[in-house]
Chains A and B, each alone.
Chain A
Amino acid sequence: MRHFNPDRHTGADLNSTVFAPWEDPQAKPLIQFRNVTKRFGDFTAIDNLSLDIFEREFFALLGPSGCGKTTMMRMLAGFETPTEGHIMLGGQDIDPIPPNKRAVNMMFQSYALFPHLSIWENIAFGLRRDNMPKPELDARVEEMLRLTRLEQFARRKPHQISGGQRQRVALARSLAKAPKLLLLDEPLGALDKKLRQDTQFELMDIQEKTGTTFVIVTHDQEEAMTVASRVAVMDQGKLMQVATPDRIYENPASVYVADFIGDVNIIKGRASAQGDETYRIDWAEGQAPITATSLAGFENGQTCHLAIRPEKVTISAERPVDAVNAIQGKVHDIAYLGNLSTYHVQLPDGTIIKAQSANTRRISRRSFTWEDPVWLSWTATAAVLLAS
């Protein structure tokens, strides 16, 4: 997971070295969704949604299929209009503007390359519509070909190049008109895993070079975490949380977000205050209570959910002496991932808790195996306490 990259800053942002216009109350957003609702018949795809996206952001819309992320993108492109509310681009209401008049370009999931035109003509297509003079047009197309490393394929037709190359043509074509905003609809969905990872870094590189605002739609949480400056997690037409990747991962706002991003253990219990920002959670009969810190307040006896990531749970044969939270169980299952192993530990009441550890030793020298009794432990700050 990529944590916040301090190299990303803009010249305009003099006050801080970190690119975070969303924390600056003076910053003017490039895109504003203002109470946008979109209905298709009886189905509400987007439900009274408000969102600001800033210039030069790489913004990811993340969610399961049918959550409304594609509808958001299609509204930005102009293929759909909001049923209620308004979308502003650079302070201007863009609802009445047709797609061909917007300074917004889109990279389609299927790439949508024109099969009857060469790669060169595909990239030049949008520029020709603006009646760009020939020398300028030639130079711009060459620049795009260079940027996407497609120079030697310029004369080929789309079916004469590989999937990865087609993806780059689609990107070059949508960037050629230097849009204010580039929309990417599942841009890497058709690529295999290795190529996808390389391309993610290439996308980030191109985004920084061109300074274009990117909005990407994806259902792949790893992809969103890797490329985005901020991630919006969506469900059923609503925003569940909008934050930087590290905040989404470390401080999820709800059980839904915690569960959607990465792997998580959820323990349900009742909270009672125990000093400053520290709570005791009673979660099962005959089990010692769990201690956890939380900035959010909980009333005594309030139902809460303790979310803890498997990599923050330590697995050991003996009870660690200074552990704040420790539970005993036995190894139910082991998922071997090569670099990591995830241990599924069953507690006496049947609950399964996942603990992850790095495989620093060869597998034949692994410390635990199936049915071994083990201790799980974590610190008071490792978990997040959530109300819902």
Chain B
Amino acid sequence: MNRLSWFNAVSLTLGFAFLYIPMIILIIFSFNESKLVTVWAGFSTKWYGELVQNQAFLDAAWVTVRVAVFSSTLATILGTAAAYVLVRGGRFFGRTLFSGMIYAPLVMPEVITGLSLLLLFIGIGLDRGILTIVLAHTTFSMCFVSVVVSSRLVTFDRSLEEAALDLGCSPAQAFRLVTLPIIAPAVISGWLLAFTLSLDDLVIASFTSGPSSTTLPIKIFSAVRLGVSPEINALSTLMIAVVTVGVITASLVTKRAMMRQRQDELAAVRAE
């Protein structure tokens, strides 16, 4: 192992300190005994206990999870379909325009997306609630899915699909039996991305949510405006834990699969 030069060591420390100190402080204070957030008064887990009792938070969490599951699933279906057509559709009229336009929501300010969706829902007389948040989240997260899936499709060997057609598949069967299983990792990571985006979102959700459908970020934000409570810290810590476990599991699974594949390939080369 190479030792880091002092310059690199300082850069690394500064960078990571910048990234993680706020979160570490939040985690530490979630175990604070005192009700005052900024004054340390000893270790305690009582705020986690109180959190479980808080029906409003639990309701908001349940709404958030439902919205995230539905919107990310819908976004994955639409985003994958869009990516497939844009990468595989050949040269049709307006293709360049479409592929540029599908990425526009990536750079669109959320306030504008939220506002325009609000106007649409009012215009068509759709009552705001879970359905409208799901639709809104689908709208803005499907372009992320499409980016992830199309970058996989670009490197996908087209002759695999041709082989499927050649062996008697209809185009739909070829997609279901060959393309989809092979690009599945990209589709799954697209889904995970859409899921996290939906969990995190505050701006668009606040435009499109109704009185009966408060998501967790909205709930936290409105609670914080009345003053930060240790209960919020505890809730945030739990969210960090969930995300961390998810990310670590996903990367371990990917790494193991890659290592196994490499070992197999090496063994095949040696056997030759």
Binding site for B on A (CB under 8 A): 77-79, 98-100, 104-106, 108-110, 112, 114-116, 125-126, 129-130, 157, 159-165, 173-174, 177
Q: Which 3 A-B pairs have the closest CB atoms?
A: A129-B168, A126-B167, A162-B272
- Cross-chain contact B162 with A129 (CB below 8 angstroms): no
Min CB–CB distance A221 → chain B (angstroms): 25
Q: Which residues of B contact A126 (CB under 8 A)?
A: 167-168
Given contacts A116-B182, A129-B173, contact A163 B272 (CB under 8 A): yes
Question: Given the complex of chains A and B, what is the CA–CA distance between A77 and B163 in angstroms?
Answer: 10
The answer to whether the Cβ of B127 comes within 8 Å of any Cβ in the partner chain is no
Question: Given the complex of chains A and B, what is the CA–CA distance between A79 and B169 in angstroms?
Answer: 13
Q: Name the contact of B162 in the complex, choosing from A112, A159, A161 (C-beta under 8 A).
A: A112
Question: Given the complex of chains A and B, what is the CA–CA distance between A114 and B173 in angstroms?
Answer: 14
- For residue A157, which residue of chain B has the nearest CB? B264
Given contacts A112-B157, A116-B181, contact A159 B167 (CB under 8 A): no
Using a CB-CB cutoff of 8 Å, which residues 141-167 of chain B contact chain A? Answer: 157, 159-160, 162-167
Question: Given the complex of chains A and B, what is the CA–CA distance between A106 and B160 in angstroms?
Answer: 12
Given contacts A159-B265, A162-B269, contact A130 B168 (CB under 8 A): yes
Per-residue CB proximity of B257-272 to A under 8 Å, as 1/0? Answer: 0000100110111011
- Cross-chain contact B268 with A160 (CB below 8 angstroms): yes
Kindly name the residue among A100, A125, A130 whose own CB sees the greatest number of chain B CB atoms within 10 A: A100
Given contacts A106-B163, A112-B162, contact A159 B261 (CB under 8 A): yes
- Cross-chain contact A105 with B167 (CB below 8 angstroms): yes
Per-residue CB proximity of B158-196 to A under 8 Å, as 1/0? Answer: 011011111111100100011001100000000000000
Min CB–CB distance A120 → chain B (angstroms): 15
- Cross-chain contact B264 with A159 (CB below 8 angstroms): yes
Q: Which residues of A contact B157 (CB under 8 A)?
A: 110, 112
- For residue B162, which residue of chain A has the nearest CB? A79
Q: Which residues of A contact B268 (CB under 8 A)?
A: 159-162, 165
Question: Given the complex of chains A and B, what is the CA–CA distance between A319 and B165 in angstroms?
Answer: 65
Given contacts A161-B268, A162-B269, A162-B272, contact A112 B165 (CB under 8 A): no
Question: Given the complex of chains A and B, what is the CA–CA distance between A129 and B170 in angstroms?
Answer: 9
Given contacts A126-B168, A129-B169, contact A108 B264 (CB under 8 A): no
Binding site for A on B (CB under 8 A): 157, 159-160, 162-170, 173, 177-178, 181-182, 261, 264-265, 267-269, 271-272
- For residue B167, which residue of chain A has the nearest CB? A126
20 contacts between A and B (CB under 8 A): A77-B166, A78-B165, A98-B165, A99-B165, A100-B166, A104-B166, A108-B162, A112-B159, A112-B160, A112-B162, A114-B182, A115-B182, A126-B167, A129-B169, A159-B265, A161-B271, A162-B269, A162-B271, A173-B163, A174-B167
- Cross-chain contact A164 with B272 (CB below 8 angstroms): yes
Question: Given the complex of chains A and B, what is the CA–CA distance between A173 and B159 in angstroms?
Answer: 14
Min CB–CB distance B153 → chain A (angstroms): 15
- For residue A105, which residue of chain B has the nearest CB? B166
Given contacts A129-B173, A160-B268, A162-B269, contact A114 B166 (CB under 8 A): no
- For residue A104, which residue of chain B has the nearest CB? B166
- For residue A79, which residue of chain B has the nearest CB? B162
Kindly name the residue among A99, A115, A116 whose own CB sees the greatest number of chain B CB atoms within 10 A: A99
- For residue B178, which residue of chain A has the nearest CB? A114
Q: Which residues of A contact B265 (CB under 8 A)?
A: 159-160
Q: Which residues of A contact B166 (CB under 8 A)?
A: 77-78, 99-100, 104-106, 174
Question: Given the complex of chains A and B, what is the CA–CA distance between A161 and B157 in angstroms?
Answer: 19
- Cross-chain contact B167 with A160 (CB below 8 angstroms): no
Q: Name the contact of A173 in the complex, choosing from B167, B170, B182 (C-beta under 8 A).
A: B167
- Cross-chain contact B159 with A108 (CB below 8 angstroms): yes
Kindly name the residue among B157, B163, B169, B178 whose own CB sees the greatest number of chain A CB atoms within 10 A: B163
Question: Given the complex of chains A and B, what is the CA–CA distance between A165 and B157 in angstroms?
Answer: 20
Question: Given the complex of chains A and B, what is the CA–CA distance between A100 and B162 in angstroms?
Answer: 9
Kindly name the residue among A79, A129, A163 whose own CB sees the greatest number of chain B CB atoms within 10 A: A129
Q: Which residues of B contact A130 (CB under 8 A)?
A: 168
Question: Given the complex of chains A and B, what is the CA–CA distance between A106 and B162 in angstroms?
Answer: 9
- Cross-chain contact A125 with B267 (CB below 8 angstroms): no
- For residue A74, which residue of chain B has the nearest CB? B162
- For residue B161, which residue of chain A has the nearest CB? A112
- Cross-chain contact A110 with B168 (CB below 8 angstroms): no
Min CB–CB distance B164 → chain A (angstroms): 8
Question: Given the complex of chains A and B, what is the CA–CA distance between A384 and B177 in angstroms?
Answer: 55
Q: Which residues of A contact B165 (CB under 8 A)?
A: 78-79, 98-100
Min CB–CB distance A187 → chain B (angstroms): 13
Question: Given the complex of chains A and B, what is the CA–CA distance between A160 and B272 in angstroms?
Answer: 11
Min CB–CB distance B263 → chain A (angstroms): 10
Question: Given the complex of chains A and B, what is the CA–CA distance between A160 and B178 in angstroms?
Answer: 19
Q: Which residues of A contact B177 (CB under 8 A)?
A: 125
Q: Which residues of A contact B167 (CB under 8 A)?
A: 100, 105, 125-126, 129, 173-174, 177
Question: Given the complex of chains A and B, what is the CA–CA distance between A367 and B23 in angstroms?
Answer: 86
Q: Which residues of A contact B168 (CB under 8 A)?
A: 100, 126, 129-130, 177
Question: Given the complex of chains A and B, what is the CA–CA distance between A371 and B59 in angstroms?
Answer: 97
Q: Which residues of A contact B178 (CB under 8 A)?
A: 114
Q: Name the contact of A108 in the complex, choosing from B163, B169, B173, B182 (C-beta under 8 A).
A: B163
Min CB–CB distance B169 → chain A (angstroms): 6
- For residue A179, which residue of chain B has the nearest CB? B166
Question: Given the complex of chains A and B, what is the CA–CA distance between A129 and B157 in angstroms?
Answer: 21
Min CB–CB distance B160 → chain A (angstroms): 5
Question: Given the complex of chains A and B, what is the CA–CA distance between A299 and B245 in angstroms?
Answer: 88
Q: Which residues of B contact A78 (CB under 8 A)?
A: 165-166
Question: Given the complex of chains A and B, what is the CA–CA distance between A160 and B264 in angstroms?
Answer: 5
Q: Which residues of A contact B162 (CB under 8 A)?
A: 77, 79, 99, 106, 108, 112
Q: Which residues of B contact A129 (CB under 8 A)?
A: 167-169, 173
Q: Which residues of A contact B173 (CB under 8 A)?
A: 129
